[in-house]
Amino acid sequence: MNKEEVCVFSPGTVSNIGPGFDLLGFALEAPGDEMIIRPNESGKLRLLNETAIPLPLDPLKNVAGVAARALLCALKSDEGFDLVFRQKIPPGSGIGSSAASCVAAVLGINALLGHPFETASLLPFAMEGEKLASGSTHADNVAPALLGKITLIRSYDPIDIKHIPYPGDLYCALVHPHIEIRTMESRKLIPGEISLKTGLTQCGNLAGLIAGLCTGDYELIGRSVKDVFAEPYRIQQVPDFETLRSKALEAGARGSGLSGSGPSVFSLCKGKEVARQVGTVMQEHFIQRGIDCKLYISAVGPGARRISN
């Protein structure tokens, strides 16, 4: 085993992208998690937090610890590792906080053990950690965090993930209001069954979004970034959401929606400058309501990777 430590950056992600509930997601350039992974002599996982964000340090109660244990159990390994959180996406942000931690942990341990698994094969272990956070096994955050770009989960059984082409001038304006929404609680708002009409509308929007991304048809993208399944039940947690969306579209966004379960809100834009204009309008929406927020302007980003410590 490599006795040196590795430092991993794992990106935040926008999941669902409107109609792709549990199926679509893309990696952001920022924000992200930064984690140091190093061997220890204890034969156990030890979690250390160097950030200002409170985190559970019990490996059985931390998503990164659960993901790491799943990987080590698959290898029947009794090696010990320290997982040191140096930079952390706030939990409950809707930007894939738990996915970023899970991916960083498994990518780093896999590297220290000599890469027994190909990168894509690490996905099931990261998904085990996600299950702790959301109560269900889904990959629309962990897949783009691990593999980068825009990912489609065609099937969960067996797992089948594909990259979706997209126009090179596609940018995202993302605003994270400082409101915490836990994924597990947010998923409980969604009904267990939907009507045939709702299902057909959602399928049409999903197909249209994928077609628009593949062909660079921004008009089609704009018509398709609509979620009639989960978002109607989740937007109540974001103040004046429909007003915010209208403002973003008027400012030039092609489509807007909740990032994951929220409260972060994304807007897809053609070009970086348009994304800046849209992002400023979105940010002002929350500031006017006395809600602190953070704005990110990002192209579609790469997946998790080792960086210099």
Structure tokens at 13: 């992600």
Does residue 115 contact residue 132 with C-beta atoms inside 8 Å? Answer: no
pLDDT bucket at 193, cuts 50 / 70 / 90: confident
CB half-sphere exposure, 123, CA atoms < 13 A: 23
What pLDDT, on the 0 to 100 scale, is given for residue 74?
98
| Placement of tokens 């199926």 in the chain | 23
The CATH class for the domain spanning 6-164+302-307 reads alpha beta
Q: What is the DSSP letter of 119?
A: G
Over residues 113-119, the mean pLDDT reads: 97
For 202-237, letters b (16+ CB in 10 Å) and e give beebbebbbebbeeeebebbbbbbbbbbbbeebbeb
Per residue, the 3-state secondary structure of 238-258, as one string, reads CCCHHHHHHHHHHCCCCEEEE
CA dihedral 30, 272, 284, 235 (to 10 degrees): -70
Does residue 282 contact residue 175 with C-beta atoms inside 8 Å? Answer: yes
Count Cβ atoms below 10 Å from residue 82 Cβ, excluding itself: 17
Does residue 54 contact residue 183 with C-beta atoms inside 8 Å? Answer: no
| Placement of tokens 């400012």 in the chain | 251
- Say yes or no to pLDDT of 2 above 90: no
What pLDDT, on the 0 to 100 scale, is given for residue 246?
98
CATH number of 170-299: 3.30.70.890
Q: What is the CA radius of gyration of the chain?
A: 19
Q: Which residue has the higher pLDDT, 180 or 75?
A: 75
Does residue 255 contact residue 222 with C-beta atoms inside 8 Å? Answer: yes
Residues 6+ apart with CB under 8 A from 231: 18, 257, 258
Structure tokens at 210: 């994928």
Tens digit of each residue's pLDDT (9 = 90 or more) over 196-238: 999 999 999 999 999 999 999 999 999 999 999 999 988 888 9
Segments making up each domain of the chain, as ranges: 6-164+302-307, 170-299
What pLDDT, on the 0 to 100 scale, is given for residue 117?
98
Q: What is the DSSP letter of 300?
A: B
Amino acid at 165: P
What pLDDT, on the 0 to 100 scale, is given for residue 51?
97
DSSP 131-160: HHHHSS---TTHHHHHH-SEEEEEEETTEE
- Say yes or no to pLDDT of 1 above 70: no
301: nearest Cα among 156, 100, 132:
100
- Say yes or no to pLDDT of 186 above 90: no
What pLDDT, on the 0 to 100 scale, is given for residue 214?
98
Provide the strand spans (E) within the chain. Answer: 6-15, 24-40, 45-49, 80-87, 150-156, 159-163, 170-177, 255-258, 265-270, 293-299, 305-307
CA pair distance 47, 62, nearest whole angstrom: 9
Dmax over Cα atoms in the chain, in whole Å?
58
CA pair distance 251, 234, nearest whole angstrom: 24
